[in-house]
């Protein structure tokens, strides 16, 4: 079944929800992305650059749509902003609540449950919206884009981070897909990107490497225009490596790619800054 723009619609949205409802899913991400100080250095540098471009006034409110364990909500709060953190996974929100409480940031970060495909906010409620590493896990992408655009105020800024289907990570993954015979995973090319669905019992892991140009054009139809596109990390290979020295080398390469403004068209991570006109 296809929705507008050809992005395939989830046939088992409840299965994807079940995968995201599981605390193991979030613990795995937490270990892979936030358990290592070199990766934290990258996130700090990325948010320095984002905030340098966006320049929100101190005390500005960010909607962190798909906040997960609140890692970036905390980063924003530590930089003087207020955050409304929303996710539909209670497991993730519980982990986020615990971190926010441990850091004494309850006054700065308001955490609530909400689905990005039907956000519980009025039209034009936010000047700043962050959606980091989230759209790639939403089967009904068009609905999510429409909702993000709807809650963004005219003149407001939307910051998105997504995986890129033209990156070497994604191309290598596609090339090795058949030889590795990943029987439980189904790969599908759609105009919105390359989608992978992996069944694990009653749950389905869903990941999309985005067709970034499609994403940019689709947001335009909602009146949300690209302002800046730059590379995030060149590769996510460090998540698959346990050998410390090799991991450090990958982080070093990623950081230097980011610092030297490497071409986003071949980078695994893409950071997109949009404005609603
Ligand atoms: C990879 S995690 C990223 C979390 C956080 N943004 C970060 O960068 O640490 C993706 C998050 O998106 C959330 N998510 C996926 N689909 C969602 C939806 N339709 N509504 C709300 N949250 C959703 C998941 O529960 C998960 O916490």
Cα–Cα distance, 128 to 275 (Å, whole number):
9
**Distance (Å) from CA 234 to ligand 1 centroid:** 21
**Distance (Å) from CA 69 to ligand 1 centroid:** 9
In order of 50, 60, 64, 189, the CA distances from 128 in angstroms are 12, 8, 9, 32
The closest-lying atom of ligand 1 relative to the alpha carbon of residue 115 is 20
Measure the N-to-C terminal CA separation of the chain; round to a whole number of Å.
Answer: 32
Nearest to 49 by CA among 214, 227, 210, 213: 227
**This prediction's pTM:** 0.94
Confidence of residue 242 (pLDDT cuts 50, 70, 90): confident
**Distance (Å) from CA 145 to ligand 1 centroid:** 14
Which residue's alpha carbon is nearest to atom 10 within ligand 1? 134
The closest-lying atom of ligand 1 relative to the alpha carbon of residue 69 is 9
Q: What is the mean pLDDT of the chain?
A: 93
Relative to beta strand 126-132, strand 61-65 is parallel
- Give residues with Cβ within 8 angstroms of 27, minimum separation 6: 95
Domain ranges of the chain: 14-259+269-276
Q: Tell me yes or no: is domain 14-259+269-276 CATH 3.40.190.10.
A: no
Indicate the range of 2-11, 42-51, 227-236, 238-247 predicted with least confidence: 2-11
Nearest to 241 by CA among 252, 249, 232: 249
**Distance (Å) from CA 221 to ligand 1 centroid:** 24
- Chain segment 50-109, per-residue pLDDT in tens: 999 999 999 999 999 999 999 999 999 999 999 999 999 999 999 999 999 999 999 999
Q: What is the pLDDT of residue 243?
A: 76
Ligand 1 contacts (CB < 6 A) are: 20, 29, 66-68, 71-72, 87-89, 92, 115-117, 132-134, 137-138
């Amino acid at each position: 079944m296809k929705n507008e723009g050809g992005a395939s619609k989830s046939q088992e949205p409840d299965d994807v929800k079940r995968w995201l409802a599981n605390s193991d899913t979030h613990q795995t991400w937490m270990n892979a992305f936030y358990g290592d100080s070199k990766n934290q250095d990258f996130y700090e540098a990325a948010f320095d650059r984002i905030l340098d471009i966006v320049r929100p006034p101190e005390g500005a409110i960010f909607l962190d749509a798909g906040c997960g364990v609140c890692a970036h909500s905390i980063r924003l709060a530590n930089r003087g902003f207020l955050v409304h953190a929303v996710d539909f996974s209670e497991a993730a929100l519980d982990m986020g609540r615990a971190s926010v409480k441990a850091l004494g940031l309850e006054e700065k970060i308001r955490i609530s449950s909400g689905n990005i495909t039907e956000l519980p906010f009025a039209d034009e409620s936010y000047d700043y919206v962050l959606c980091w590493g989230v759209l790639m896990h939403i089967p009904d992408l068009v609905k999510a884009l429409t909702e993000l655009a709807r809650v963004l105020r005219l003149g407001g800024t939307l910051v998105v981070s997504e995986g890129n289907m033209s990156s070497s990570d994604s191309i290598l993954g596609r090339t090795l897909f058949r030889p590795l015979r990943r029987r439980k995973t189904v790969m599908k090319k759609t105009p919105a990107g390359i989608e992978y669905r992996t069944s694990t019992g009653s749950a389905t892991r869903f990941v999309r490497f985005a067709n970034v140009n499609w994403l940019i054009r689709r947001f335009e139809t909602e009146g949300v225009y690209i302002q800046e596109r730059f590379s995030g990390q060149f590769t996510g290979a460090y998540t698959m490596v346990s050998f410390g020295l090799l991991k450090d080398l990958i982080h070093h390469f990623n950081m230097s790619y980011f610092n030297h403004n490497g071409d986003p068209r071949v980078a695994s991570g893409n950071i997109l800054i949009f404005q609603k006109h």
